[in-house]
Amino acid sequence: MNMDRNVGVSASRTRHRRALVVGKFCPLHLGHMHLIQTAIDACEEVLVISYTKPEFTGLGSARREAWLRELFPGVRSLVIDDASLGELCASRGLRPRTLPHNDEDAAVHREFTAWLCEAICETSVDAVFTSEDYGDGFALALSEYFSERFPGSAPVRHVQVDLARAAVPISGTRIRDNPHLHRQFMHPAVYASFVERICLLGGESSGKTTLARALAERLDTQWVPEVGREHWEERGGALGYADMRLIAEGQATREDVLARQARQWLVCDGSALTTVFYSLDGFGRVDPVVRRLADQPYAYSFVCAPDFPFVQDGTRRDAGFRQRQHRWYCSVLEARGVPFMVLDGPLAQRVDAVCGILNPGAGR
């Protein structure tokens, strides 16, 4: 079984029909991306398979699939867990199977992967790309499996890529131990999944925006402005019911964009829950999309207390309205079982209170 150790030479000399790349991708890092891209450059088609049992917290199959779909849209990917595999088996009339445990013998994983190619993906491969020293044995096992089920299939060739991890000196284990310390080894779309979001709520003129800016500066990260206020200013205060959905969706999109630029934390000035309040107050109803977006969880929620004089900037209602907002946020969070802290006192006190909860120095 031939094995190319000089990938640059191999990729330019040999064009494979269909390659296989297998990994946990927990998380997908630049080393994995280098491996997949090398396969893309050397092959007509690439099949990427990802599974792990047990899964790692926060790195489920849906998240891994989303990374692959965004970063390698031209690649065919199969990211599975026991539930999705069960559905696939049922839809194809196959005998039910479950994922092998990560600690199972290599032969078990090789047979399982070959079966996934044949039974679930309905294909074979003629190359397997790995960054591991087990690749020759993997290629041999695949060759034997496919030769029995796909008569005339070519032997599977192993292409080894950066075994010494010289190109990208990182591992998934090291990243999981401290993702923020190793953020340079992840694409921003992947690192954003490790960024924890802080939601600041409160009535008008309760210091939310000032606090958001101050927290972002203290934490050396990004903050998300209140999109609803931007729309209000752009429309001269003339907002309709349809604008509520636009505002909530815009807030969510802005968070997702800025999470890719953030460091460990993302400070959010309001959320879709803010839009729920204004939609109920102004129109007596809430778009289902807005309600769904308002159900998205945050790592931490804080409510700014209305404990200083109300400041009218020409866009706000009055102190009584501010008090009603404050009570509404507290009651809704309590009803939903969402832990939160009310922040009072001057700005410095509020910043210190939040940072005391976050403990942002850990692992930085």
- Smallest Cα–Cα separation from 202: which of 93, 308, 361? 308
Looking at the structure, tell me whether residues 247 and 274 fall in a common domain: yes
pLDDT tens for each residue of 339-358: 999 999 999 999 999 999 99
Which residue type, as a one-letter code, is found at position 288?
A: P
Does residue 177 carry a pLDDT above 60?
Answer: yes
Which residue, chain included where needed, has tokens 């815009």?
A: 250
Looking at the structure, tell me whether residues 144 and 263 fall in a common domain: no
- Residue 320: what pLDDT? 78
Question: How many residues appear in the chain?
Answer: 364
Which residue, chain included where needed, has tokens 């792990």?
A: 52
Looking at the structure, tell me whether residues 73 and 164 fall in a common domain: yes
In a domain, 185, yes or no: no
Which CATH number characterizes residue 14's domain? 3.40.50.620
Looking at the structure, tell me whether residues 149 and 243 fall in a common domain: no
Looking at the structure, tell me whether residues 23 and 136 fall in a common domain: yes
pLDDT tens for each residue of 150-169: 888 889 999 999 999 999 99
Looking at the structure, tell me whether residues 148 and 264 fall in a common domain: no
- Residue 316: what pLDDT? 57
Q: CA angle, corner 27, sides to 71 and 186, nearest 5? A: 60
Looking at the structure, tell me whether residues 162 and 219 fall in a common domain: no
Residue range(s) defining the domain that contains residue 211:
195-358
Looking at the structure, tell me whether residues 124 and 239 fall in a common domain: no
Residue 283 DSSP one-character state: H
E strands present in 220-320? 222-224, 265-269, 300-304
- Residue 362: what pLDDT? 40
**The domain boundary residue, chosen from 112, 147, 177:** 177
Residue 90, classified by CB atoms within 10 Å of its CB into exposed (0-12), middle (13-18) or buried (19+), is exposed
In a domain, 120, yes or no: yes
In a domain, 312, yes or no: yes
In a domain, 316, yes or no: yes
In a domain, 186, yes or no: no
- Residue 359: what pLDDT? 80
What is the count of structural domains for the chain?
2
pLDDT tens for each residue of 132-151: 999 999 999 999 999 998 88
pLDDT tens for each residue of 195-242: 999 999 998 878 899 999 999 999 999 999 999 988 888 888 789 999
The DSSP H or E segment spanning 201 is strand 196-202
Looking at the structure, tell me whether residues 154 and 283 fall in a common domain: no
pLDDT tens for each residue of 116-129: 999 999 999 999 99
In a domain, 188, yes or no: no
Which CATH number characterizes residue 223's domain? 3.40.50.300
Residue 259, classified by CB atoms within 10 Å of its CB into exposed (0-12), middle (13-18) or buried (19+), is buried
pLDDT tens for each residue of 80-94: 999 999 999 999 999
CA dihedral 239, 245, 248, 252 (to 10 degrees): -140
Looking at the structure, tell me whether residues 158 and 11 fall in a common domain: yes
**The domain boundary residue, chosen from 118, 151, 177:** 177
- Residue 317: what pLDDT? 66
In a domain, 78, yes or no: yes
The DSSP-derived string for 137-148 is HHHHHHHHHHHH
Looking at the structure, tell me whether residues 299 and 210 fall in a common domain: yes
**The domain boundary residue, chosen from 147, 177, 207:** 177
Print burial letters for 121-147: b (CB count within 10 Å at least 16), e (below 16). beebbbbbbbbeeebbebbebbbebbe
In a domain, 337, yes or no: yes
Question: Are 284 and 323 in contact, with CB atoms under 8 Å apart?
Answer: no
The DSSP-derived string for 239-255 is --HHHHHHHHHHHHHHH
